[in-house]
Every structure is written in C-alpha cells, then in structure tokens.
Structure 1
Amino acid sequence: MRRLKTMKTHPLPRLASTRLARPHTWLRKWLAHCATGLIAFLACAAIANAATAVGKVVVIPVVGAISPASADFVTRSLTRAANEQAQLAVIELDTPGGLDISMRQIIKAILASPVPVAAFIAPGGARAASAGTYIVYASHVAAMAPGTNLGAATPIQLGAPGLAAPEPKRPNEPGKGAASSPATDTQSTETRKQIDDAAAYIRGLAQLRGRNAAWAERAVREAVSLSAKEALEQNVVDLTARDVPDLMAKLDGRVVETATGPHKLATAHAQVVTFEPDWRSHFLAVVTDPNVALILLTIGMYGLFFEFANPGFVLPGVAGAICLLVGLFALQLLPISYTGLALIFLGIAFLIAEAFLPTFGTLGFGGIVAFAAGALMLIDTDQPGYGVPLPTIAAITAAGAVFVFFVSSFAYRARRRPVVSGGEALVGSGGEIIDAALAPAEGEAAGVSVGWARIHGERWRVRASAPLAAGAHVRVTGRQGLMLEVVSAEEPKQRGVSP
C-alpha cells in the first residue's frame, strides 16, 4: 500500500514534461553562446575594417650610396604603396650621397606620389649627405633622429677620378682675371654651371615644401652641414623623432599636400609594414658595382675569344656572351666615360691579337697599357662608393696578360712543330717497294724507273733514278701530284749525306 501511494505522488505526465524541457534549455544556451561569438566576431571585423580604412604606413629603408639599384627600389616601393592604398610612406635614410641621375629619379617619384612621403634620417648616427639632402628637401615631411646630420650637397666635379675642380674665379679678385688661361676659364665655367644648377634645383624644392631655402643653397655652394637639433631650429626639417613609432605619434593629425590633394594622417595606431629589397634590387646592387661590371666585361670578351679560337667548346661562348651583356647592362646604368670603355675594348683586342700575330710582345704591352688606362677612366664621377680601385685594375690586367701570353706560348709551340699530316708530311718518310722490280718506264728519261711502294700504309706510285728490288726500303724526296720521288734508304749513308 505504501508503495502504491508513493507511485501516485509522482505522476507520469509530470516526469515526461521535465524530460522534454531539458533539450529546450540546452538549445537556448547553445544559441546564446553562438550569439555571443557572432557579436565578438563582428566587433573584431569592425576593428579590422577601421584599421584598414585608416591605412597602413610603409617603411622603405635606403642604406648606402644612392645608386640605380636604390632608385629602382624606392620607385617600385612608392608605386606598391599607392596600389595598396597606404596612407604614408617613410623613406628611412642613411646615405653618404650618390649618383645625380639616381637621385633625380627618386625625387621625381616622390613629387608624383599620391601617397605622402616622409624622409626620416635614422637611426642615430645616420646621415643624409649630398644626394640625401635633396631627397629630404623633396619629401612631404622631413624628420631626423637625434645624433644624425645632413648637408654637404655640393655636386662633385665630373671627369677623371681624383681630379679636383678649381674654385670659380671672380672678376673682382685681384691678379686673377687677366692671368687665367682659357682651359682654366672653361673648367671654372663648367663647375659654376653645375653648382648653379644644383643650387636652383634644391632652392625650388625648398620653396615647394616651405623650408629654409637660404640654408639649402649654402649646403650646395659651401658644403655646410647641420645636426638634427640645428636643422629643426633653422626650419630645414619639420620635426625630430627617436624612431618610427615616435614619428608616427608626432605625425598623427597632420595635413599633408600631395599631387592628388591634401591628406590628413592618422598614424597613431596605424599598421607599420617594412618593404625589404627583393631579388631584383639585390641583383642590380651587385651588377652595378663598378668592380663587378668591369670583371663581367673582361670575362665576356675573353670567353668569346676562346670560343672563336676553339669552336665547339660552347660553354666559354655561352658564359662569355651572358657576362658581356650583363656587364654592358650595368655600364649603361652607371656614369661611364665612353673613351675609357673604348680603351678597354681596344686593350683586350690588342691582347687577343698578340696570340695570333708575331709582334714579339708589342701588341701585348700596348693592350695592357690601354686596358689599365681605360679602367682608370671608366667611371666618370668621384661620388663615394664608385670608381674601380687600383688593386682591382692591376689584378684584372695581370690575369688577362697571363691568360693571353699562356695561349700565345701554345700557339708559338704549335707553329714550331713539324707537319704530321697532308702532302708535306710525305717528304722524308720511309716506305717499301711492293713490285717485283722497279722497271724503266716508257716516256721517262734514261735510267728512270717507275713502280709502286707502300708509304704510310698507302699504295703510292713512285719513281726512282735506278731499279730497286721488291721489299727494298726507300725514302721519299719529293712529290709531283700523285707521283712520289724516292731513293734507296741506304743511299744517303753511302754518299755520306745526312738525311
């Protein structure tokens, strides 16, 4: 009875409703978790979209001399920054200067860039001398890290390396106007033209960016320099910063005027991406080194010479053609003297001709002198980081001379060797009569006999002044067409004549 009463207190409909209610509770909890995750995902997406809308900041490091490789790298990086809709491009500079044509290529890319460009001389201890000063003045924002400097923007005299340009002479200086020679006046005029052109160029950049144009002109004419603190005080740069994050914080909210209009920077929390040089930049940096270009040029010429002298080797010709074309490609990017290049080719031609012509070293010595002089004159600038050192020139010249004279010695030995093939090799050779007897022939002079003999493993028709028995050994003394003149092999000994 008690058991039945207990069962009655727990009716079945109530138990079923409890079990059916549990799945709905789990479903509500699962939906609540999904909603929370969806809200979190949408919040992250909104933050990412906001960061994307702000735009990232790209850093373009430029270290070393301004060269065709660095100009190509900066130009392509600015184009990439524009394609990726970056809000700012920072050119991190540390350069002693460089080539004028490469500098102007970078400045043209900066002036035409739709993305604001900030030139930042960093890290501490870096500099932006010579060509770097022009790039700083051309940038939309100029900044320096503590312990850096810029200036010394005087263009270096083009011409033979090591020759300093004379100071321009002024008419009011006593004792210098009438005594100057036409050559000195011409050189002074050329120098003055270069300095005036460079001063006008940097003055125009300073006026475009609202910076100190007077000091910029002094940097060109007097080669003066400034530290970071002095540059900020004299309105040469816009601000100083410790590093790139500090620069981003100080540029936040600044309005910059570019080729496409004004841009307001929001760099405080922007993503910073560094563009590293790719394989193309590294390749250009290697091949445009004047030492490498000269070596490639030399290897190419000697490779082609070896292939033409010994057809069929293939490898020297292929390697020589590739090296020659790469070397010429590098030279067309560099400021070269075509006179020096012509002397290099002339010197190599003389060294090659020495291997074929019996000039007893005259062409070889002239080739060495022409090659060395051309290598010294090849690079037509005194910019830091350019020019071919004397040890490199001496090593390449000595290696070329040794190679050519080594080949010449082999050619000379080959000319002195006796002939071992052809009709000339038959004279003096021995043979054996294969006829029963060398009989007198009709139509021949009295005492002359004609027959057959085996010489060098071949049957030859021979003629002798006396009959010879079969198996007799003979020696060839001459040839007339297909007829050989022979004598007995013992005849010279009997007559006492040395063979």
Structure 2
Amino acid sequence: MKKWILLLLLTCFSNAYIVHTIYTVEINGIIGPYTLSQIERAISLAEQNNGLVLLLLSTPGGLADVTLQIMKEVGNSPVPVVGFVYPDYSYAWSAGTYVLMSTHIAAMAPHTVIGSCQPIAGGTPVNESKTLNALIGYLETVAKSYGRNGTFARLCITKNVNLGADEALRYKVIDIIANDIDDLLRKINGSSIVLRNQRVEIVVIGSAIQPVTPTPTETLQMWLSDPVVSSILSLLAFILLLTAFLTGHPAAIVAAIILLVVSMFSILPTAWLSLVLIIMGASLIVFEILAGMAAHGVVAGVGAVLVIIGFLSAYPASVFGRELIHIKDWWLIQLGLYINIAVLVGFIGLIIYKAVAVHKVKPPSEFLTNLRGMEGVALDDIEPGVPGFVKVFGEYWKAVSDVSIKRGCKIRVLEVQGDRLKVEPAGINTPEGTEGEK
C-alpha cells in the first residue's frame, strides 16, 4: 500500500520516472568495445520498455577511449543508469571508477574498493601533464554534475587514491551502500536524480531483472582481450609467417593473415565486427569452393561458423526474444543481411554448378591427361595387338600401338580409347639414353 501511495504522490506532484524492469550489465574483466556495445543495448532496451540500467562493476580497468565513450553514453542516456560495485569484495579500479562516477546513482557493496585512476600506456604510468589535466578536468566535471566530490576525482588520478565503501560514502564520492541488488533497489526507490538536465524522481514499481548478456561477437572480443590469448595468437601468426617465408606455401600466408586480423578484433567497434566476421566467413567459403574443396571442406566450415557468429551478433538475442529494441547502427545490420543473402544464394549456385559440372566432365585423372600430343615413356614392350604400360604426365596407363615400341622409348599420345591410350613412337624408336641399331 505504501508503494502505491508513494507512486500516486510522486506522479501528482513531481516529474516521476516509473521503472518497470531492471536491465543489468555485468562488467567483469577488462573494459573494451564489447562493454560499450552491451551498455548501448541495455539503454536502448530500457528506453523502449520504461526500464532502468544497472551496471554491476567488478573490473581492474580497461581502454581509455572506450571508457570515455561509455561516460558520454551514460551522461546522455534518456533512462537512469545506476553503477554498483558488486558483488561484495569486488573492486572497480581505473576505468571502472570512471564509469561509476559517470552514473546517475553510484553505489558500492560494503567491502569493495574504487580508485587508482592514473592512465597507463604500454605498462608505464602516464605522467604527461596534457593527458592528466584533460582526464582530471573531465572526471571532475562529471562528478560535480552529480553533486559528488570533485577532489577525489583529481586525487585518484594524480595520487592513485583508493577508497572503501564507507569512506566513499562519507566523502560524498558515492550515493549509496547496499548489500545486494534488492537492497539497492529499495534504497534508490523515491530518490531524485538529474536526467538530461532535468530533475526526476525514480519510482521502482517492478523488480523484474533482465540481464543483457553478451552477443557471440562481444564474447569473442572479451576472449581476444585476454593478454594470454592475444600473445598466443601473435606467436602463431609469427610462426605461420615464418613457415610461409621458408616454404612459400600460400595456405600458411592465408592462415597468418587470418590470425593477425582476428587478433585486431578486440579493438574494433563491435558493430563493425559483425560485418567483418560475415565478410571473412563468406571469403573463406568462396575460396574453398574455387580451390576445388582442396581442404576437404575445413576452410568452408570455418567460414560458415564465422558467418553464423556474425549474423547472430548483428541480431542480438533480445530481437529473437521479440523485445522492442532501438538499434543504433541499423544500416550496418541491413548491409549484413544483404551480404548473408548474397553469400547464401552464391553458395547454393556454386553447389548446383559443381553438381552439374560433375556429370558433364570426364573423370579428373582422364581430364588432366587427355591431351593429344602429350609425350611419355614406354614401360613395357608394346606390339600390335599386345598392349603394355606407359607413363604420361606422371600417370600410368595401359597403351596400344599400331607399330612396335620398345621399352624405354619415347611415345606420343594419339587418343584416349576408353581406359587405355593409343600411342605412337616419338622420334627414333630406341630406349632413351641408347643409340639405335646400325
């Protein structure tokens, strides 16, 4: 009853934002392009369904450019975004602190830590005043826009200051300490925030929690962002390049290029990565078919997997679940759909072409050696009416002749007669390396 009375009062006397669904994004591990993609999808879902976005932070940090984009996305969000360092005994260092400070409501579990925001490049702390002053000014501005402590924003960059939950609340760095998600939702219910320069009251009337899970592409990017995985891929690419240099084998070159491209996936925008996967997969399928299925379908199989992953990533799970969602880069998805259709039609067309061609052409061995005028060597004595074996173009054939041909003599193919060749002597009818009889 109290909840409905509160809802009625807030609706009548203030600008209330009614929350029906909580869309959660778990930010674990390194913050990268996949994190931005998940947050964008969560905000779109919340906007379409009158929801709230809850970022669950447990991260050592991440990429600076992506973090600044996330802060901008959160700042311009049409829906409330709550940052929560959770679960207990977690941490949100560096980029995690930046993201937490940019949310409309910042919360921490009791035994969590934030701070250590000095940027690092190549494993070395950045001390350049131009970079540091820019980050300090931006983080201070963002923190003060939510009424938070700007001094901490400066100290966590210049001095790598760290704060626990109690200290962060005492110094007005965060807004709430909560034991869990349910406790957090109770405490934010009825709170006032500034949303797009307008003060609104949050009213939580629904506690349905909807996780925004990573798409296949986002999962792939997370996996590739692991330093161990990245090092292994780089080592394999180097080995393949060395092999290609020593042997000149084109397959090694292609494999090395693929590994190098894949290793760059972790820094590409996720929206573009789906398109890249589809193009790579389609290229591998076409390459395998044009090569006459030389790899027995393995390359085409890898290509098919890449196309499927790219397709599933372009159309997130929320679309298949019939949820309304605003897709920011819709033209990319349309382009991906057209490429999928073109690849499918082309693949089916090539299969039909190959099937028809198989029935029209002669067997491969006959096709390769059915060349009139090709020369070879007699392996047996051949007499009229008495066939023998010859070697032509590396193949062994049974052959007939209208004249006598001695073993070891050069022969010339006249025609193919079923499963045997009709041949004639090529030059003097004497074995190679010997003189004819005088």
TM-score band (shorter)?
Answer: 0.5 to 0.7
Q: Is the 8 A contact 1:141 1:238 kept in 2?
A: yes
Structure 1 position 63 matched with structure 2 position 28: yes
Are 1:80 and 2:45 an aligned pair?
Answer: yes
Once the 2 structures are TM-superposed, how far is the Cα of residue 132 of structure 1 from its aligned partner? 0.7
Letter in 1 for 2:131: Q
Cα distance in 2 for residues equivalent to 1:295 and 1:193: 35
| Aligned positions of 1:43-442 closer than 5 A | 54-58=18-22, 59-86=24-51, 88-157=52-121, 159=122, 162=123, 164-165=124-125, 168=127, 191-259=128-196, 261-267=198-204, 270-280=206-216, 281-286=218-223, 289=226, 295=233, 298=237, 329-330=265-266, 332-333=268-269, 425-426=376-377, 431-432=381-382
Q: Structure 1 residue 431: deviation in Å?
A: 3.3
- Range moving further from structure 2, 91-100 or 238-247: 238-247
CA contact (8 A) 2:114 2:164 kept: yes
Q: Residues 239, 483 of structure 1: CA spacing in aligned structure 2 closer, same or farther, 3 A cutoff?
A: closer
Paired amino acid for 2:401:
R
Return the offset for 1:232. 1.2
Aligned counterparts of 1:203 and 1:459: Cα–Cα separation in 2 = 96
Which of residues 466, 476, 483 in structure 1 aligns to 2:409? 476
Which one-letter code corresponds to 2:381 in the other structure?
A: G
* C-alpha distance in structure 2 between counterparts of 1:486 and 1:298, whole Å: 55
Contact 1:454 1:460 in 2 (8 A): no
In structure 2, what residue type is equivalent to 1:212?
A: N
Asked if the contact 1:55/1:85 (under 8 Å) is kept, the reply is yes
Q: Which amino acid aligns with 2:429?
A: V
TM-score (norm 1): 0.49
- The answer as to whether partners of 2:83 and 2:107 remain within 8 angstroms in 1 is yes
1:275 maps to a residue whose letter is P
Percent of residue pairs identical? 25
Which residue number in structure 2 is paired with residue 393 of structure 1? none
The number of aligned residues is: 298
Instruction: Give, in whole Å, the separation in 1 of the partners of 2:64 and 2:207.
Output: 34
Q: Secondary structure at the match of 1:107?
A: helix
Contact 2:106–2:175 (Cα < 8 Å) also in 1: yes
Q: Cα distance, 1:291 vs. partner? A: 5.8
For structure 2, the 5+ residue unaligned runs are 271-370, 391-398, 413-423
**Deviations, residues 144-187 of structure 1 (Å, cap 9, x unaligned):** 11101100011111x4xx5x35x85xxxxxxxxxxxxxxxxxxx
Check 1:211–1:458 CA distance in 2 against 1; reply closer, same or farther (3 A cut): same
Question: Residue type matched to 1:225 in 2?
Answer: N
Give per-residue Cα distances to partners, 1:422-477, cap 9 Å, x unaligned.
96742x85534659xxxxxxxxxxxxxxxxx988324387xxxxxxxxx7956437
* 1:475–1:486 contact (8 Å) kept in structure 2: no
What are the ranges of 5 or more consecutive residues in structure 1 without an aligned counterpart?
A: 1-42, 169-190, 335-420, 436-452, 462-470, 495-499
Give the TM-score normalised by structure 2: 0.55
User: Secondary structure, in 3 states, of the residue corresponding to 1:484?
Assistant: coil
Higher Cα Rg, which structure = 1
Q: Quick one: structure 1 residues 328 and 244, their matched pair in 2 at CA, closer, same or farther if it must change by over 3 Å? A: closer
* 1:326 to partner: Cα distance: 5.7
Q: Is 1:459 equivalent to 2:401 in the alignment?
A: yes
C-alpha change, 1:473 and 1:197, in structure 2 (3 Å) is same
CA deviation digits over 1:467-494, x for unaligned, max 9?
xxxx795643799x974223479x88x9
Equivalent position SS for 1:95: strand
Q: Tell me, in whole angstroms, the C-alpha distance in 2 between the residues paired with 1:210 and 1:155.
A: 24
Describe the shift of the 1:258–1:460 C-alpha distance in structure 2 as closer, same or farther (beyond 3 A): farther
**2:106 counterpart SS class:** strand
Question: Amino acid of the residue matched to residue 243 of structure 1?
Answer: D
Mapped partners of 2:375, 2:34: distance in 1: 61
Amino acid at match of 2:69: Q
Q: Deviations over 1:223-276 (max 9, x none)?
A: 121111111111111221222222223223221111162111223x54242324
SS of equivalent residue, structure 2 residue 60: coil
Alignment partners' CA distance in 2, 1:432 and 1:97: 81
Residue 135 of structure 1 deviates from its aligned partner by 0.8
Match of 2:429 in 1: 486
CA distance in 1, matches of 2:389, 2:112: 90
Deviations 1:387-419 (A, max 9, x none): xxxxxxxxxxxxxxxxxxxxxxxxxxxxxxxxx
Q: Supply the AA of the counterpart residue of 2:198.
A: G
d(CA) in 1 for partners of 2:405, 2:191: 113
* Separation in 2, partners of 1:331, 1:247: 34
The structural deviation recorded for 1:99 is 1.3
In structure 2, the CA distance between the partners of 1:472 and 1:140, relative to structure 1 (3 Å rule), is closer
Q: 1:126 to 1:53 in 2, by over 3 A?
A: closer
Question: What residue identity is the alignment partner of 1:64?
Answer: G
RMSD across aligned positions (CA): 4.8
Q: Distance between the aligned counterparts of 2:26 and 2:431, measured in 1?
A: 90
* Distance in 2 of aligned mates of 1:204 and 1:488: 95
- Shift of the 239–473 alpha-carbon distance from structure 1 to 2, 3 Å rule, reads closer
Counterpart CA distance in 2 for 1:472 and 1:321 is 53
Aligned partner of 2:156: which letter?
A
SS at match of 1:56: strand
